Amino acid sequence: MSITVKFSKKENGFPRVKFVFKEDLKRGRINGFDTGKIFKGSEFKGDLFQFFPLRISEERTYFLLMGGGERAKFNGDSAFKAGSFLTIKLKELGFRNVELMVDFLERDEKLVLEFFSGIFYGDYENDFFKSQKKENNLTVYIASSSHDKVFRKLIDVSRKIGVNVNLCREFVDLPANHINPITFVDRVKKLLKGSDVKVDLLRLKEIEKYNLNLIKAVSGGSFVEPRLLILEYKNSKDRPIAFIGKGVTFDSGGLNLKPTAHIEDMKTDMAGGAVVFSLIKLLSELKVKANVIGIIPLVENLPGNHATKPGDVFISHSGKSVEILNTDAEGRLILADGIGFSKRFNPSMIVSIATLTGSAVVALGTLRCAIFSKDEDVIDIFKRVGDEIGEKLWPLPMDDEYGEELKSDIADIKNIGSSRFGGAILGAKFLENFSEDTPFVHLDIAGVSDLKSKKPYAPKGGTGFGVRLLYNFMREYK
Ligand code: BES
Ligand code: ZN
Ligand code: ZN
């Protein structure tokens, strides 16, 4: 399946997709049709995710009416979801060509961008292992009067956003026997070939040389060596922002083995790393004026002869000693070394993004992602941007008193708290220790990185949450 957006010069006779808001229904007429007659006996009320094929003759379905909800509430979030829903619906119904009437976007650049990002987002299919793939291609024609230069440029940007978010989803969805630390790197290298992104890689020998001992400790039980992937994209003279993404390609829990239920979901535990990669690829394709470093520590967390044992102590890259009391709190360990390593680039801010804790999911469910920072202005930007585009956040506290629980009897810090309360906060406080005096932001995406069941605008599986959020954050943050 692949979707193409084209610009038509003249009437092409393809079915026309038209957005209908609740207000339009109240007005009683749509394109000369009497709404009372059209929707008589139907459930269609113009709500978001409602779809109504309007047959105007026996052989032709001429208008495809899409609900937009209340006009006043139609924002970037709903535009994105509507776009994705439209693609999914048109694919499902087997349409090959449609003409899209874009007047409902009112040439609002943000709405256009989000709507078309959604159109491309809807193109994703987790069918990598299906021998029968859906092959129907869909072409969306944009009606004449709309395709000026600005509009075309916006669609090009949207396509790049959609494609890169979908790449992130692919990483999240692929099983752990297809994405491990080695094959993650192979894919990234291939996908970044010829781009402006500099790729550096530390293998086991260098990981040992640089004392990235926490990364080595977590990967000890696995046959597959750890890696530290470093991506650099520099298109400004500012100090870099460092993005550290958790890259646990499978999290069994290690010797603190996870129970059977849902352990298979832990193939998604590299979502943070996938976000960092996709973000940097996107920033470079759009030539965004920014200086960013991506650090992705990659490991498999397995029990094994050489696995870390609960109670072991390791000296981190930064020199702080860490007592590992639970091998399932492994994300914070590899991120701690990633954060420590990022300091050599003299970043102005460190942002970690990770499927870090089940506790974040308990706190916020699967709608909003937890954000942690002591900088309220940064939180405000993230929150506003997240609400606008539909990757929503909610702040959790960072009081230093929380960190008291992480004091170890025998080392500088331990990797779990003394109680089972406030687990997401403790994870963030643990990481903050390694950022030291550099401004620090942490996103716990455990609840939002994949959907457990399908939505009208997305299938079950990887969501790519974080790519659009961080891209928009980078555009707003100066
Ligand atoms: N990868 C998990 C967190 C997770 C849970 C992600 C559910 C996605 C969905 C993480 O490594 C983990 O196991 N965290 C433990 C920490 C605990 C041992 C302190 C948790 O949250 O239970
Ligand atoms: Zn774990
Ligand atoms: Zn994990």
At 190, list the tokens. Answer: 């291939």
**In angstroms, rounded to a whole number, what is the distance separating the alpha carbons of residues 218 and 331?**
9
Rounded distance from Cα 254 to ligand 3 centre (Å): 10
143 lines ligand 1 (CB under 6 A): no
Q: Which of 357, 361, 430, 465 is the best mutation target for the ligand 1 pocket, counting ligand atoms within 8 Å of the beta carbon and taking the most?
A: 357
Give the chain's end-to-end CA distance (angstroms, integer): 39
Q: What is the pLDDT of residue 72?
A: 95
Q: Which of 328, 333, 442 is the best mutation target for the ligand 1 pocket, counting ligand atoms within 8 Å of the beta carbon and taking the most?
A: 328
How many CA atoms lie less than 13 Å away from 451 in the CB half-sphere? 15
Compare 358 and 148 and report the one with higher pLDDT.
358
416 lines ligand 1 (CB under 6 A): yes
At 363, list the tokens. Answer: 């706190």
Rounded distance from Cα 380 to ligand 3 centre (Å): 28
State the average pLDDT over residues 429-449. Answer: 98
**In angstroms, rounded to a whole number, what is the distance separating the alpha carbons of residues 430 and 436?**
11
**In angstroms, rounded to a whole number, what is the distance separating the alpha carbons of residues 90 and 64?**
10
Rounded distance from Cα 454 to ligand 2 centre (Å): 25
The pLDDT tens digits for 133-189 are 887 799 999 976 666 888 999 999 999 999 999 999 999 999 999 999 999 999 999
Instruction: Report the b/e string of 283-320 with b at 16+ CB within 10 A.
Output: bbbbeeebbbbbbbbbbbbbbeeebbebebebebbbeb
Rounded distance from Cα 384 to ligand 2 centre (Å): 30
**454 CB-contact burial (10 Å; exposed 0-12 / middle 13-18 / buried 19+):** exposed
Q: What is the pLDDT of residue 392?
A: 98
Q: Which ligand is nearest to the CA of 360?
A: 1
Q: What is the pLDDT of residue 256?
A: 98
At 123, list the tokens. Answer: 């193109």
295 lines ligand 1 (CB under 6 A): no
Q: Which ligand is nearest to the CA of 423?
A: 1
**In angstroms, rounded to a whole number, what is the distance separating the alpha carbons of residues 87 and 138?**
8
Which one-letter amino acid corresponds to residue 278? S
329 lines ligand 1 (CB under 6 A): yes
- Helix, coil or strand: residue 18: strand
Q: Which ligand is nearest to the CA of 265?
A: 1
User: Which residue, among 301, 351, 316, 328, has the nearest Cα to 210 in the 3D structure?
Assistant: 316
Contacts with 465 (C-beta within 8 Å, 6 or more apart), sequence order: 271, 275, 369, 391, 445, 448, 449
304 lines ligand 1 (CB under 6 A): no
Q: Tell whether the model's pLDDT for residue 30 goes beyond 90.
A: no
Rounded distance from Cα 269 to ligand 1 centre (Å): 9
In angstroms, what CA-CA distances link 52 with 44, 74, 198, 254, 259?
7, 19, 48, 51, 45
Rounded distance from Cα 329 to ligand 3 centre (Å): 7
312-315 sheet: strands from edge to edge: 312-315, 321-324, 413-414
Mark whether 332 is an active-site residue.
yes
Q: Which ligand is nearest to the CA of 356?
A: 1
State the average pLDDT over residues 222-243. Answer: 98
Instruction: Report the b/e string of 194-209 with b at 16+ CB within 10 A.
Output: eeebebeebebeebee
3-class SS letters over 280-338: HHHHHHCCCCCEEEEEEEEEEECCCCCCCCCCEEEECCCCCEEEECCCCCCHHHHHHHH
State the average pLDDT over residues 122-137. Answer: 91
Q: Tell whether the model's pLDDT for residue 58 goes beyond 70.
A: no
At 389, list the tokens. Answer: 């585009």
User: Which residue, among 119, 99, 130, has the nearest Cα to 2 in the 3D structure?
Assistant: 119
Any idea what the Cα angle at residue 379 is, between residues 375 and 383, rounded to 5°?
Answer: 175
331 lines ligand 1 (CB under 6 A): yes
User: Which residue, among 445, 268, 257, has the nearest Cα to 351 in the 3D structure?
Assistant: 445
Atom of ligand 1 nearest to the CA of 269: 1
State the average pLDDT over residues 389-404. Answer: 98
Q: What is the pLDDT of residue 259?
A: 97
* Residues of the chain above pLDDT 90, percent: 88
301 lines ligand 1 (CB under 6 A): no
- Looking at residue 259, what DSSP letter applies? P
**In angstroms, rounded to a whole number, what is the distance separating the alpha carbons of residues 25 and 388?**
26
285 lines ligand 1 (CB under 6 A): no
Measured by CA distance, the residue closest to atom 14 of ligand 1 is 357
Residue of 71, 203, 258, 475 with catalytic role: 258
User: Which residue, among 6, 10, 3, has the nearest Cα to 86 in the 3D structure?
Assistant: 3
Mark whether 187 is an active-site residue.
no
The pLDDT tens digits for 452-472 are 999 999 999 999 999 999 999
State the average pLDDT over residues 340-355. Answer: 98
CB atoms inside a 10 Å sphere around CB 419:
9
The pLDDT tens digits for 275-305 are 999 999 999 999 999 999 999 999 999 999 9
Q: What is the pLDDT of residue 146?
A: 60
- Looking at residue 266, what DSSP letter applies? G
Residue of 159, 332, 414, 468 with catalytic role: 332
